[in-house]
Amino acid sequence: MVNLFQRALWLAVVVVTLVAFGFAIPLLPSFGPDSRQLTTDDAMELATGTVTLPAGWDVDIASASQRQPVATRGNVQIGIVDAVWLGASSRLVTHAADLVFSQPPLLPDVPATADGTGSEEWQILPARDAPSGDPRSVIVLRRDTSVILVIVRGPAAEVAAVAETIDAVVASVTFNGFTPDVGSAP
């Protein structure tokens, strides 16, 4: 039988690590910066491609580190989400709208035959009475089965003021195919 001292020691080790991993380590990011301001245009890796975020914008470190970058300037936020879609683009746009908007938005007129062959770009806009928390626009980019959503949030006037920058972000998206991540990653 393991003696009492050894048992007490191991008990303490387990309790200390439980507290460390469960409660102390999750606090560590709060001791560092939440975001980093880009000094130059910066190409960010996504699961299905890359996107270049513009200089001068703040990038959220937590989301960017996990390949879902969110860039902010003032009250305008650009979020990038990538996805995979096998079916018709009309259903893709509907599904994306359901996930992102809290109320039915204005959907683009997507031809029933559109299936991602070549490159596609669709824009979803909020309904006139949409709550302020809903995106100002969602741009759906698709090439074959790879999809990247550019989600823009913020007050209408401020979003309009950076419209060219948003267009540049959308134009910077490149697709590199999709490798499913089915490993033991967190």
Site string for other proteins, 103-142 (x = CB under 8 A): ----------------------------------------
Query: Binder to other proteins among 5, 32, 40, 112 (CB under 8 A)?
Result: 32
What span, in angstroms and rounded, lies between the C-alpha atoms of 124 and 105?
A: 7
SS3 21: helix
Tokens of 51: 């996107």
Q: Given the complex with other proteins, which of 92 and 159 has the nearer CB atom?
A: 92
**What is the nearest approach in angstroms of other proteins to the Cβ of residue 180?**
7
Q: Is 67 in the site for other proteins (CB under 8 A)?
A: yes
Read off the amino acid at residue 50.
T
What span, in angstroms and rounded, lies between the C-alpha atoms of 165 and 161?
A: 9
Residues binding other proteins: number (CB under 8 A)? 50
Site string for other proteins, 41-60 (x = CB under 8 A): ---xx-x-----------x-
Tokens of 77: 């936020």
Residues at the contact surface with other proteins, assessed by CB under 8 A:
1-2, 7, 10-11, 13-15, 17-18, 21-23, 25-29, 32-33, 36, 44-45, 47, 59, 61-62, 64-67, 82-87, 91-92, 95-96, 99, 147, 179-180, 182-186
